[in-house]
Amino acid sequence: MKHFFENDERRVFRETIKTFIETEIRPFAHEWDEAGEVPRSIYEKLGQLGVFGLGIEEEYGGLGFDDPFMRVIFSEEMARCGYGGVSAATCVRSITLEPLQRLAAPEIRDRVLKDIVLGKKDSSLAITEPGGGSDVARLKTTAKRDGNHFVLNGSKTFITGGMDSDYFVVGARTGGPGLTGISLFFVEKDAPGFSRTPLGKKMGWWASNQATLYFDDCRVPATNLMGQEDFGFLAIVNNFNNERLGMAAQCVGMMKAALGDSIAWAQERETFGKPLIKHQVIRHKIANMSAKIDMIESYIAMICWNIEQGETPVAELSKLKFSSTKALEYVASEAMQILGGAGYLRGCRIECIYREVKVMAIGGGSEEVMRDLAVNQMGL
Ligand SMILES: Cc1cc2nc3c(=O)[nH]c(=O)nc-3n(C[C@H](O)[C@H](O)[C@H](O)COP(=O)(O)OP(=O)(O)OC[C@H]3O[C@@H](n4cnc5c(N)ncnc54)[C@H](O)[C@@H]3O)c2cc1C
């Protein structure tokens, strides 16, 4: 089906990214996943292609414009490699870029932003705590002013890229209880009182690391406060919309990969005297998988168009997030079923996609939390 919103610029962008991923990422993704890391040179090459520069000014190495469709294209094409950890390790920096550009002090912005955009340095967003992730309003890490400094105490966990990142955007409580009262801080890896340890083995996202971060009387200059004191979290809620759009697009990329591999297998494999693809049950599975992908893709396009018009469709983004992870859960399961035992083997792309389903359904706003947000946004 033709994409109504496709234009020359977006077509070229997709072709460039696709070619890069097919040649420089896909052949090695399984190896990196098993090794638990992506070579740094990949971040730098992607940085050169401009994929982290959407919404970032040219003086900071960005493209000087934003385009929700291009964000989607990048996330989708990255995810097609099938190894979610490769996407996570690569894309993690994106979520800190907009807050750093908009809220960090000029000295910090000028010093660090360009290197992150160009893939030379890594950055992570640290909100989740050992005590909980969904209920951000109960966040416990504190930041107390002490002259020209803030002193942070507490810990964060599940922080993607946390073992490699040079820079962190950290949520900490400066005021009273609730979402108001949370401020954002720019913290560098060598700040006094900062330390980190890696999380143990995980179900998926092997190529990316997650860390627990510790702040023990961690002193940062008062100028590291990002934006208005007590209103830090509220200032970045819109940032989560981009993350959710990107995650939905990643679901589409993984679903397309799973469908493509299923069709190829079903055409080649014979059972009971004919190719799998000629059995009606398998044909119906493929029809169902394909229809789910079409629906999520169309929903994404409608949401992107609204964003392009200046809207912030929070309810739709929330509905998109849980619908896309539910669709991925279905498609990954059906794809694995079509491949039979072959799909269960490590190194098969579908085996990895199947393992990546749950992190998509939990991270970046869980399915339950997204449903709540959607209904609240509907005014109910
Ligand atoms: C691999 C991975 C990478 C991550 N990377 C980052 C990162 O870079 N930065 C970061 O800050 N965080 C990160 N996270 C944390 C992630 O955002 C949280 O896991 C997520 O927000 C859920 O929080 P939780 O795990 O503490 O679950 P909880 O909040 O304890 O919730 C547990 C379960 O209960 C459900 N639940 C919670 N409240 C309700 C309710 N009111 N009604 C019904 N059900 C409810 C949730 O949906 C969930 O299914 C990452 C997580 C993972 C697994």
pLDDT digit string, tens, across residues 217-266: 999 999 999 999 999 988 888 889 999 999 999 999 999 999 999 999 99
Place of tokens 């934003």: 66
pLDDT band of 1, cuts 50, 70, 90:
confident
Q: What is the pLDDT of residues 71-90, one digit of tens each?
A: 999 999 999 999 999 999 99
Atom 16 in ligand 1: residue holding the nearest Cα: 363
In the CATH hierarchy, which top-level class contains the domain 123-230?
mainly beta
Q: Which amino acid is at 205?
A: W
End-to-end CA distance of the chain: 36
Q: Which two tokens stand for residue 168?
A: 């962190």
Q: CA–CA distance from 114 to each of 24, 42, 119, 122, 224 (Å)?
A: 23, 17, 9, 11, 18
Q: Give the start-end residues of each E strand in 3-96.
A: none
**CATH class of this structure's domain 234-377:** mainly alpha
Q: Which residue among 94, 158, 237 is best mutated to probe the pocket of ligand 1, counting the most ligand atoms within 8 A of its Cβ? A: 158
pLDDT per residue over 194-214, tens digit each?
999 999 999 999 999 999 999
**3-state secondary structure at position 86:** helix
Task: Read off the pTM.
Answer: 0.97
Asked if residues 370 and 317 have their Cβ atoms less than 8 Å apart, the reply is no
Closest approach atom of ligand 1 to CA 135: 29
pLDDT band at 42 (very low <50, low <70, confident <90, very high): very high
Instruction: Give backbone dihedrals phi and psi of 348, rounded to 5 degrees, phi first.
Output: -85, 130
Torsional class of 12: left (φ above 0), alpha (ψ -120 to 50), beta (otherwise): alpha
Among the atoms of ligand 1, which is closest to the Cα of residue 171? Answer: 11
Query: In this predicted model, which residue has the larger pLDDT, 1 or 294?
Result: 294
Asked if 44 and 90 touch (Cβ cutoff 8 Å), the reply is: no
pLDDT value, residue 3: 83
Average pLDDT over residues 148-155: 98
CA 303 to ligand 1 centroid distance, Å: 24
In a mutational test of the pocket of ligand 1, which residue from 168, 233, 366 has the highest number of ligand atoms less than 8 Å from its CB? 366
Q: Where are the domains of the chain?
A: 8-117, 123-230, 234-377
Please write the tens of the pLDDT for every residue from 127-145.
Answer: 999 998 999 999 999 999 9
Question: What mean pLDDT, rounded, does the chain reach?
Answer: 97
Does domain 8-117 fall under CATH 1.10.540.10? My reply is: yes
pLDDT for residue 321 is more than 90: yes
Distance of CA 134 to the CA centre of its chain: 16
Residue 239: its pLDDT value, please?
86
CA distances from 198 to 7, 133, 223 (A): 43, 18, 29
**Euclidean distance between CA atoms 169 and 109, whole angstroms:** 12
Q: 322-380, pLDDT tens digit by residue?
A: 999 999 999 999 999 999 999 999 999 999 999 999 999 999 999 999 999 999 999 99
Token code pair at residue 306: 């609204």
d(CA 91, CA 112): 17
Q: Whose CA is nearest to atom 30 of ligand 1?
A: 132
* pLDDT(4) > 90: no
Q: pLDDT tens, 155-186?
A: 999 999 999 999 999 999 999 999 999 999 99
In this structure, the number of other CB atoms found within 10 A of the CB of residue 12 comes to 10
Q: How far does the centroid of ligand 1 lie from the alpha carbon of residue 279, in Å? A: 41
Q: Tell the residue nearest (CA) to atom 9 of ligand 1.
A: 159
Whether 322 lines ligand 1, by a CB cut-off of 6 Å, is no
Cβ of 158 below 6 Å from ligand 1: yes
